[in-house]
A and B are shown apart, each in its own frame.
Chain A
Amino acid sequence: MVAKINVNPFIAYALKRFGIMVLTFSVALFLIFILPRMIPGNPLASTIFRLTQGGITSPEQLKATERMLLETFKLHEPLHIQFVDFISNLIRGNLGTSILFYPLSVANLIALYLPWTLLLIIPAVSLSWFIGNYIGVIAAMNRNKFVDKVVLTIFMVLQGIPPYVLGMYLILLLAVYIPIFPTGGGWPPGMVPRLSAEFVLAYLKHYILPFLSIFITSLGGWGLSMRSIAVQELASDYMEYTIRGVGLSQKKVVNYLFKCSALPQIVGLAIVLGWSVAGSVLTEIVFSYPGIGMIFWRGINAQDYPLIQGMFIIIIATLLLANYISELLFAYIDPRVRYAYVGA
């Protein structure tokens, strides 16, 4: 007989979701651990073979690489010892050493390049969230009128264009045919990142096109979902009251509507920002923007296993955490969610 303890439903919900998050992370870690070891033909041996063919020429360097790979993956040990080692390294925050960027550790690389990715993603996504949602509300206010139809069509097309494709077109148009902006990179070659007016200006010039490609393509998704939320909201009694009864100005109604409909969109923003590290990979590749996605891509192309493995762990961890935060936010905003989970 279990005594019925009265728990705060929010805490109960938070704990349950935390459990699911830990379980999911464990499954992901297990997959990351087992897959490279399960694939027939030992990918690590073939990596070493490929390295001897390409870049690395001196035998000392090859030996060092081989030793490092063995140290990271401990392939000569039995599987369970490998697993214990893998986990204990992880707990100590040791993600291994990159082959491609040899003396640098994976954790160092991430610390070095993550800020550039965040600098690109956070402003682009936040601004498109704000503007897209605002236009969505205006479209909902003018439902089935000309403005709404135009906005709806444009947003639908925008939603269909992936950011990297728009990026390619922007480069073709604004960097090749009308050479206003550089075709790629984060700053002119030879320049070192530092806080000077000269560098900031050069950086901004490289920044505008990738920023635009993410900003413009994410407008559609926000706008479309906001429009459908706001249309439902408009049909509710209190909105009827504010528009017909009180007779507020159009501008004020838009502001109220924005605030009332934005709650689910805030949760969406948390999820999208969590995706940013993984989601910006393609845009960064197209613009050869020096962020974490670019490093990841170079790691994949060079078969840099420690780097790939470390990146996967980091990306999945950020994603799960962002998802967890958005779930808590949602439960905090909407009490029905947490009560549904506790079953009270």
Chain B
Amino acid sequence: MISSTIIRLFRIKKFAVGLLILLAVLFIGIIGPAIYKVSPTRTVGGRYAPPGGKYPLGTDALGRDVLAQLLHGIRGSLYVGAIASAISLSLAIFLGTIAAVFGGLVDKIVMTLSEIFLLIPSILLMMLLAAYLPERSLWIVAVVIGITSWAGWCRGFRSRTLSILSSEFINLAILSGASRLNIIIRDIVPIIAPYVLAAFAMLFSYSIMAEVGLTLVGVGMTKDVTLGLMLYVAQIYANISQGIWWTIVPPSIMVTLIFLSLYMIATSIDELFSYR
């Protein structure tokens, strides 16, 4: 049954294309820095050397190699996406299922909490935190994005769990003496797994975009190279109005590709499983 579902998923053209793009980007981000061994943070030549010759993608405002920056930047952005979405997804699953299964006071507290986190725009909370931390590494930014983006998905998991709880086999599990935590792990999580996958893809792309946005505003990354930091440096040195395209076009295309591929994957998973 699982294998037939996967085959059906791959038949959706949108899913296949999205996955292909994502795998290509992942491959570049993971293997790239190992093959092209140039430091992304060291000054290697004059500033604004155009692409071609010694520097395949030219150099930036500080004379750093843009290709090396791009490869490390993709890697950095993927790290941010992975860490942030892992944190927010685990919070969402944990709180959502707990709220549904335990009900009562626990449910009320979780729902009110998620309501507050939904209404307080996460990007503002991140700015507020970041504005007061002068040195910001990849980890700080990822953790901040993670702990502010769980609320919407938590509510989604809660309602899915509630609809599962009303089915017959859960009653049987309760009668057979299974504990509530056991029910969550053995009965509920496997059923909501495809939804978890879609949520992961959406959160991953959201986190990468959020990092770019935060860094561009000047409250995100300051230490590690990411796609956001590349755009930030290009923006600070007014590269666009000088027509220096090679510091802007490659990172922005990468950001758009990552977002698009994940969006395609998430929507096709969602379509497949909600039209059952």
Contacts and interface: CB of A to CB of B under 8 A. Distances in A.
B248 A316 contact: no
Interface stretch (A27-35, A199-207, A232-240, A261-269): A27-35
Interface stretch (A18-26, A126-134, A247-255): A18-26
B244 to A, nearest CB: 9
A282 B216 contact: yes
B271 to A, nearest CB: 10
B145 to A, nearest CB: 16
Contact of B218 (A23, A24, A300, A319): A300
B243 A176 contact: yes
Contact of A156 (B124, B217, B243, B263): B263
Contacts of A62: none
B114 to A, nearest CB: 11
Contact of A172 (B112, B132, B248): B248
Nearest to A32: B128
Contacts, number: 101
A293 to B, nearest CB: 9
A24 B115 contact: yes
A211 B122 CA distance: 25
A242 B127 CA distance: 51
Interface residues of B, number: 38
Contacts of B252: 165, 168-169
B132 A39 contact: yes
Interface string B202-218: 00000001001100111
Interface in A1-43: 20-21, 23-24, 27-28, 31-32, 35-36, 39, 43
A164 interface: yes
Contacts of B240: 168, 171-172, 176, 183, 286
26 contacts: A23-B112, A23-B116, A24-B119, A28-B120, A31-B128, A35-B128, A46-B134, A156-B264, A161-B256, A162-B255, A165-B252, A168-B252, A169-B249, A171-B240, A175-B241, A176-B241, A183-B240, A281-B217, A282-B217, A285-B216, A301-B218, A308-B131, A316-B120, A316-B124, A319-B119, A319-B121
